[in-house]
Amino acid sequence: MATADIRLSIAHQTRFALRLAAALSSPSAAAAPAPATNAAFSPLSLHVALSLLAAGAGGATRDQLAATLGGDGPGVAEGLHALAEQVVQLVLADGSGAGGPRVAFADGVFVDASLKLKPAFGEVAVGKYRAETHSVDFQKKADEAAGQVNSWVEKITSGLIKEILPPGSVDHTTRLVLGNALYFKGAWTEKFDASKTKDSEFHLLDGSSVQAPFMSSTEKQYIAYNNNLKVLKLPYQQGGDKRQFSMYILLPEAQDGIWSLAEKLSSEPEFLEKLIPMQKVPVKQFKVPKFKISFGFEASKLLKGLGLQLPFSPEADLSELVDSPEGQNLCVSSVFHKSFVEVNEEGTEAAAASAATVVLRSFTMPMDFVADHPFLFLIREDMTGVVLFVGHVVNPLLAP
């Protein structure tokens, strides 16, 4: 896959990520969390799971998956698989042995013992996605099969996510579960001094406030300012390869500005690239709250809201998945996703399962960055632009 094609595919993937983030952030969304809830998810995890589903889809179902995930026209499904292969190899390789972040990623295809995967689907799953295939007994031992899926996710995420399939989510009619899990643990390039962490006021969306622990620093920071929005970049320690992971905190000036910011990022994905701080600036007041989020949701309603209807309907064509007449009757019943993100003085631990009109100004004069009201955040690999996690914090004290 050519470099230009990869960049375009990653741009499509980022657009999908930001559209989903806006849908999840919107207080009116059917599957959105309550406005007073912190949220986090891995758009990359969902993108890869749906791309793998596209490998087993045919006709209009495959076309709709391809259009939702990035682009249309002939060869889009193949492009999705090529992108997944590149992302799995380049972005999601574990770098902890070389001093970089620990990354663990896995795809799993759990198929009922009565069915056999089509060889072509199996080749793509194993060859491009490095997926593991498991034969389980959904028909006679559904609870046991769900336990196998959950144990697999728990192992990949180092115990942070113990259950991706809630009780009752699979039964004797289940034939296939596509699962994936992503674990990320990175240390900041410049760690915060824990002795400087102090409680301070964090303003909530309802106008009240809470006392929360804030990390602080007097070191120069990557900060940029644009149109009532400040962006902080916190780089993670780099390993022996070229990858550079960073967390970005997007802090609107308005205390209730995160919903409109999420909408803007969704409608103008290129806006994100213009927000990347390029240089360090001296700081005056600098405070970032510690937070920990565990968030799970069933994603099919949000995906339908993005126009992805066919895989969930009786008209679904998933005939390329299994070698059986039953393949004509398969459809996706649900998409379960769960994420965990923790930010503290040392760094981040995160896991998940399933024409420029804006001028960005970087200041050399001292700047304040006080994240004392709701903000968006994302974890990104900067060399490729791949977004691993997205979320929002409305109250850092909320327990996961």
- Please report, in tens digits, the pLDDT of each residue of the chain (400 residues total): 455 566 777 888 888 888 888 887 765 554 555 567 888 888 888 888 888 888 888 889 888 988 888 765 556 667 778 888 888 777 877 777 777 888 888 778 888 888 888 999 888 888 888 888 888 898 899 899 889 988 988 888 888 888 888 888 888 888 888 887 788 888 898 999 999 999 999 999 989 999 999 999 999 999 998 888 999 999 998 877 778 899 999 999 999 899 888 888 888 877 888 888 888 899 999 999 998 888 888 888 888 888 889 888 888 888 888 887 776 778 887 788 888 888 888 888 777 776 233 333 344 577 889 999 999 999 998 888 888 899 999 999 987 6
* Predicted pLDDT of residue 203: 95
* Predicted pLDDT of residue 4: 52
* Predicted pLDDT of residue 367: 84
* Predicted pLDDT of residue 211: 96
Domain boundaries, the chain: 3-186+293-341, 188-289+355-393
- State whether the Cα torsion 331-335-8-126 is positive or negative: negative
Burial grade of 4 (CB within 10 A; 0-12, 13-18, 19 or more): exposed
How far apart are alpha carbons 54 and 78 in whole angstroms?
Answer: 9
CA distances from 110 to 42, 115, 137, 150, 175 (A): 21, 11, 9, 11, 8
Token pair recorded at residue 246 = 């960073």
* Predicted pLDDT of residue 74: 56
Element (H, E) at 142: helix 142-156
Judge if 3-186+293-341 and 188-289+355-393 fold alike in CATH terms.
no
* Predicted pLDDT of residue 93: 76
How far apart are alpha carbons 242 and 140 in whole angstroms?
Answer: 48
Q: Are 349 and 185 in contact (CB under 8 A)?
A: yes
**Fold category of 3-186+293-341 in CATH:** Antithrombin; Chain I, domain 2 (3.30.497)
* Predicted pLDDT of residue 194: 93
Give the number of other Cβ atoms within 10 Å of residue 328's Cβ. Answer: 12
* Predicted pLDDT of residue 234: 94
H helical segments located in 37-118: 43-55, 59-70, 76-86
CATH code that applies to domain 188-289+355-393: 2.30.39.10
